[in-house]
Amino acid sequence: MDVSDLIDPLNAAQREAVTAPLGRALVLAGAGSGKTRVLTHRAAWLVRVEGATPFNLLAVTFTNKAAAEMRGRIEHLLDLSSSGMWVGTFHGLSHRLLRMHWQEAGLPQSFQILDSEDQRRLVKRVMRDLKVDENRWPVRQLQGFINARKDAGERPDDLDISDPYMGPMAQVYKAYESACQIAGVVDFAELMLRTVETLQNHLELLSHYRRRFRHVLVDEFQDTNGIQYQWLKLLAGPEADVFIVGDDDQSIYGWRGARVENLQRFREDYANTQVLRLEQNYRSTSNILEAANALISRNSDRLGKKLWTDGAEGEPIAVYAAFNEQDEARFVIERLLRMTEDQGLARSDFAILYRSNAQSRTFEEALLARRIPYRVYGGLRFFERAEIKDALAYLRLISNRDDSAALERIINTPTRGIGTRTIEALRLTARNEEISLWAAAQRLVQQAGVLPARAANALRGFIDLIEQLAAEIEAAPLPDQLEVMLQKSGLRGHVAKDQSERAQDRLENLDELITAARSFEQDATIEEGMDVVTAFLSHAALEAGEGQAGEWEDCVQLMTLHSAKGLEFPIVFIVGLEEGLFPHRMSTEEPGRLEEERRLAYVGITRARQQLILTHAERRRLHGRDDLGIPSRFIRELPPELIEEVRARFSVSNGASAMANSWASEANEFSLGERVQHSRFGEGIVLDCEGSGPSARIQVNFDDAGAKWLVAAYAKLERI
């Protein structure tokens, strides 16, 4: 490939950024202006022109999907198939570093990653041990506290134990930390903090990496938090060439400690930063872009950017007021089907974006009912489902007996007569002796008389089972290991016995896990020195929440607005635009939070390339509550001339309430303005509908006979 291939597909401002002299560059630009494109071209430019090797690059972004795309693009531009390049997420790269330097990091070689559910359990256990009142200190709050402290780079010793409010929380943090250390597990926040500390405490390591990573590139910089900034500053030493791109208008993780001020701070910390701006948007039609610009202009304290496009005006932005969430899903899916037919679009050209994960269910059900393949990012959490986590807990325990979180999860799953008393005894011993639960179990079965004979036998049975499994599967390929483990542990049988209708689903999930293991073993690049089980388990922990491993079928894409960052789709639906839902009710009292919600809306709108469709529901049942929905202020904040309201469809049905039954009543629904035919009065236009069920009436303006009210059930109207 020629160098001109790196330069030709860029405009002048983009070129200037890609070819900027080595040093520090900050590309500050709005959505869809080519920041990610510029970043990947810059990486390739460094190798082709500046004499770097892929080995010298460190490129960081926020989601696995974005990282995979970035790696793919750079490799494509460099014509490499697979390389030793460090391209990944902050968490993924930290994990890689800790795996390679587990000794310096003070971790066991086979340390495992604790996901947030496991973390919550562990926090809860620690709180119980310390007799901290859960009513006063909810577990989630403490979990959030611990993570926030870690994100700020603070250890328990940095906190004021004597403070009446902070004190008890700091104690839980401290006890939690030692429980993690004994178990050999690290949570997500720990991955970052531990990496920073390891580099700080081992200067030879630090200088090794600084020599290696001569070029550091960061996408979505506006969302870095304190510890991530520190991490970057450590790795990108004073000598490094640093290239960061970001958009202050897309900073959406303030609630998790992200600091948009890091953009300013970077300019102060790294003298002589060249600031570059891109102003042409290549993604969206001008209607979409204008709507986005108008919305975001209502925020204060912006760094200020202009965005323009020379693209087509495109369709107006459609807004649909649904009766309720079912009607909303029906509308979205009908639109989607119609557009796939009329415009020859693929299913994957459509994205349905929502504010909270819980909103996906109605859409999933509606898609399932129509047999339309779909994929949920950030919600389905394949690796977080109970049966999958049980299976993985067996693998974790087999590879690291001290992983107490894993042991607790499966010691009595399937039931094997190990009751809460026995488990309490294990915990007590573990706590007193400062050992893992596994070590405590071994001790208790050896000491006669501590446990009742039945309990001791059951516990011995469990220990033997794990030892046997370990010996048996040690040398087998990963999918076979899973197969044997599922069988012999009794887990598959246990899931099959599940009385609920979910049994079949759950069995299929277990099969899917084996499939995922197989493709992992075939395709994944596994770090040197890491065994495949550990690599797979880490993959499961880090990938969780970003959708299912496996096939990339042509699917409709469902995800939260947060997970859509950086992506683009031809057609975007943003659903649930109601006050309290989006903007989220927690944000409406605080101006700062409201502006963050508006930035999230800006992110959502700017994902769309050709068409944007917004929906809100007049009634919504969510979290078991019925709410009356007021249309979101974000709809009102769009210029009215860019909007086209989709006229509501009134349902007139022969059967029960049309609203409750909107699928079945399909054939009887007429839209206002639709042309219909009547056997006696001829052709006309639907003017109005009222009522439902057998008494529903419909008003039609017939071309010849004039306006008439008819009883829908008898009128036998046909669409034309």
Residues found near ligand ATP in the complex (CB under 6 A): 9-11, 14, 29, 31-37, 247, 250, 282-283, 566, 568, 606
Among 566, 604, 629, 684, the residue binding Mg ion under the rule CB under 5 A is: 566
Judged by beta carbon, residue 283 or residue 330, the one nearer ligand ATP is 283
Judged by beta carbon, residue 88 or residue 604, the one nearer ligand ATP is 604
Neighbours of 280 (CB within 10 A): 19
For residues 553 and 371, the answer to whether their CB atoms sit within 8 Å is no
Among 36, 143, 147, 611, the residue binding Mg ion under the rule CB under 5 A is: 36
Binding span for Mg ion by CB under 5 A among 89-97, 565-573, 587-595, 613-621: 565-573
449 is in an annotated binding site: no
Residue 34 is a binding residue for Mg ion (CB under 5 A):
no
Torsions phi, psi of 405, nearest 5? Answer: -60, -40
| Catalytic option among 115, 187, 190, 219 | 219
Catalytic-residue membership of 389: no
Torsions phi, psi of 391, nearest 5? Answer: -60, -45
| Catalytic option among 14, 36, 413, 560 | 36
Instruction: Please tell me the distance from the alpha carbon of residue 513 to that of residue 485, in angstroms, as a whole number.
Output: 12
Judged by beta carbon, residue 35 or residue 91, the one nearer Mg ion is 35
33 is in an annotated binding site: yes
| Residue 675 CB, nearest approach to Mg ion (Å) | 45
Among ligand ATP, Mg ion, none, partner that 32 touches (CB below 5 to 8 angstroms by kind): ligand ATP
Catalytic-residue membership of 443: no
- State the virtual CA torsion across 629, 633, 634, 636 in degrees, nearest 10: 110
| Catalytic option among 119, 250, 280, 413 | 250
Catalytic-residue membership of 593: no
105 is in an annotated binding site: no
| Catalytic option among 125, 174, 210, 607 | 607
Residue 431 in 3-state DSSP?
helix
In the numeric block, the tokens 């819980």 are attached to 358
Among Mg ion, ligand ATP, none, partner that 11 touches (CB below 5 to 8 angstroms by kind): ligand ATP
Residue nearest to Mg ion (CB): 36
| Residue 565 CB, nearest approach to ligand ATP (Å) | 7
| Residue 568 CB, nearest approach to Mg ion (Å) | 9
**DSSP structure class, residue 345:** -
| Catalytic option among 151, 187, 220, 390 | 220
Judged by beta carbon, residue 35 or residue 95, the one nearer Mg ion is 35
Catalytic-residue membership of 35: yes
Among ligand ATP, Mg ion, none, partner that 34 touches (CB below 5 to 8 angstroms by kind): ligand ATP
Instruction: Please tell me the distance from the alpha carbon of residue 683 to that of residue 679, in angstroms, as a whole number.
Output: 9
36 is in an annotated binding site: yes
Q: Which DSSP string do the residues of 9-74 spell out, in sequence order?
A: TS-HHHHHHHTPPSSEEEEEE-TTSSHHHHHHHHHHHHHHTS---GGGEEEEESSHHHHHHHHHHH
Maximum pairwise Cα distance, the chain: 98
Q: Which DSSP string do the residues of 282-312 spell out, in sequence order?
A: -SS-HHHHHHHHHHHTT-SS------B--S-
389 is in an annotated binding site: no
| Residue 6 CB, nearest approach to ligand ATP (Å) | 12
Side-chain half-sphere of 379: how many Cα atoms within 13 Å? 24
Catalytic-residue membership of 716: no
226-235 vs 262-269: helix crossing angle, rounded to 10? 30
Residue 33 is a binding residue for Mg ion (CB under 5 A):
no
| Residue 32 CB, nearest approach to Mg ion (Å) | 8
Span 605-634, contacts to Mg ion by CB under 5 A? none
| Residue 280 CB, nearest approach to ligand ATP (Å) | 7
Judged by beta carbon, residue 250 or residue 611, the one nearer ligand ATP is 250
Among ligand ATP, Mg ion, none, partner that 399 touches (CB below 5 to 8 angstroms by kind): none
Listed as own residue / partner, the contacts of 629-632 with beta carbons closer than 8 Å and 24 or more positions apart are 629/578, 629/579, 629/580, 629/581, 630/578, 630/579, 630/580, 631/321, 631/577, 631/578, 631/579, 632/577, 632/578, 632/579, 632/581, 632/582, 632/583
Tokens linked to 617? 């529901």
| Catalytic option among 35, 194, 259, 347 | 35
- Reported in sequence order, the residue ranges of 585-681 that DSSP labels E, i.e. its strands, are 608-617, 619-622, 625-628, 643-646, 649-651, 669-671, 675-678
Judged by beta carbon, residue 349 or residue 402, the one nearer ligand ATP is 349
Catalytic-residue membership of 250: yes
Instruction: Please tell me the distance from the alpha carbon of residue 393 to that of residue 409, in angstroms, as a whole number.
Output: 7
Query: How many chain residues bind Mg ion (CB under 5 A)?
Result: 3
29 is in an annotated binding site: yes
Judged by beta carbon, residue 6 or residue 159, the one nearer ligand ATP is 6
What is the per-residue burial (b if ≥16 Cβ within 10 Å, else e) of 428-447? ebbbeeebbbbbbbbebbee
The annotation places the binding site for ATP at 29-36
The annotation places the binding site at 29-36
Catalytic residues, which ones?
A: 35-36, 219-220, 250, 607
